[in-house]
Amino acid sequence: MLEKIEALLAEVAQLTATSLDDVEKLRIKYISKKGLIPSLMNDFRSVPAELKKETGIKINELKTKALEKINALRDGFATSDADDSDFDITRTGYPLPLGTRHPLNIVKSEIVDIFSRLGFCLAEGPEVEDDWHVFSAMNFADDHPARDMQDTFFVESHPDIILRTHTSSVQSRVMERQQPPIRIICPGRVYRNEAISARAHCFFHQVEGLYVDEQVSFTDLKQVLLLFAQEMFGEGTKIRLRPSYFPFTEPSAEMDISCNICGGKGCGFCKHTGWVEILGCGMVHPRVLELNGIDSKKYKGYAFGMGIERITNLKYQVKDLRMFSENDVRFLREFEAAN
């Protein structure tokens, strides 16, 4: 009898379970009315009188050990999912306030949506780029000021690796792997080595567009930009194109829109001219097409680029560019209605 009890003690000490169902099965096997331990009481009657005391103590010890083991196994499963040291039962039941989309994301999405409806596809590329895609493929001369360290962030250990200064590098990557027709819109973050102030930052966001096909004209470019301006700033918006220079377009132009604050009458925001510059554009330079593997005698194209911060300033009159990257919740909450 004592040997049987000792064997059961050793067996109980080694009990394990993988679920609450297993624990219940162990309870039934060992301590239920018809379990192994209660059945020992039937055998207790046949124990010699001189061994009854010792045997009774051992049976009670076995019963206690079995109860403790089974309860411990049950408690382990009951608390493993419920217990959480980080859970604060005193925390209010009110829902946490929802956040808002960043104003730059709101405007970027609106710009991409407008051009998507005009047939442009979204294209993206790496922010850490090589010199070829950022400068050489875009017809920048070897001595162009943009290649200087004063204007561009270079990776010190790899002089040909830079942080892209414009999203034109995405245009180059698309042109080198795809033949026309090409109609893409390229949003993304860019970097310039500039001092941070209310009017400038070392990183900002651009959206550039490219259309390459046969029989593409400057008139097509003007019409697309007019439709964009009226969709973004209102049906009464007017545009004007002023001659300019960019290495990757010829002819090139800068586009102004009629001031959306004074309606073109003149105010402090537009410096009393009635016009506000928003983007640069032009016909893709034939050399850019050739550098990227496209026949410039067969195909022509136009390109344009704008700063998302600039468009956001015009829509919401944000006067300090630094506010876009400071993550001030008070500033961001002002755009809840625009989500």
At 279-288, the pLDDT tens digits run 999 999 999 9
DSSP-assigned beta bridge partners for residue 304? 209, 281
Dihedral over Cα of 231, 232, 237, 240: its sign: negative
Ranges assigned E (strand) in the chain: 121-122, 128-130, 154-155, 158-163, 182-191, 203-213, 239-246, 249-258, 275-284, 300-307
Residue closest to 214 by CA, chosen among 296, 299, 301: 299
Instruction: Grade residue 81 by pLDDT with cuts at 50, 70 and 90.
Output: low
Residue 336 is classified by DSSP as G
Specify the higher pLDDT residue, 3 or 67: 67
Question: By percentage, how much of the chain surpasses pLDDT 70?
Answer: 95
For residue 221, what pLDDT band results from cuts at 50, 70 and 90? Answer: very high
228, HSE (Cβ side, Cα atoms, 13 Å): 31
Share of the chain above pLDDT 90, in %: 43
As a whole number, the mean pLDDT across the chain is 86
pLDDT at 339: 58
**Whether pLDDT at 83 is above 60:** no
Residue 150: what pLDDT?
A: 63
Average pLDDT for residues 140-160, to the nearest whole number?
Answer: 78
Question: What pLDDT shows up at residue 257?
Answer: 92
Token pair belonging to 330 = 């008070």
pLDDT tens for 90-137 read 777 777 777 788 899 999 999 999 999 999 999 999 999 998 999 999
CB within 8 A of 226, min separation 6: which ones?
239
Task: Give the relative orientation of helices 308-316 and 218-233 as an angle to the nearest 10 degrees.
Answer: 40
For 241-252, the pLDDT digits (tens) are 999 999 999 999
Helix (H) or strand (E) holding 43: helix 36-44
pLDDT tens column, 224-242 = 999 999 999 988 899 999 9
Q: pTM score > 0.85 for this model? A: no
Residue 337 has pLDDT above 70, yes or no: no
Contact present, 199 and 323 (Cβ < 8 Å): no
Please identify which residue in the block is written with the tokens 């070392």: 202
Residue 113 main-chain phi, psi, to 5 deg: -65, -40
pLDDT at 205: 93
Contact yes or no for 3/11 (Cβ under 8 A): no
pLDDT band for 61, please (50, 70, 90 cuts). confident
Q: What is the pLDDT of residue 80?
A: 52
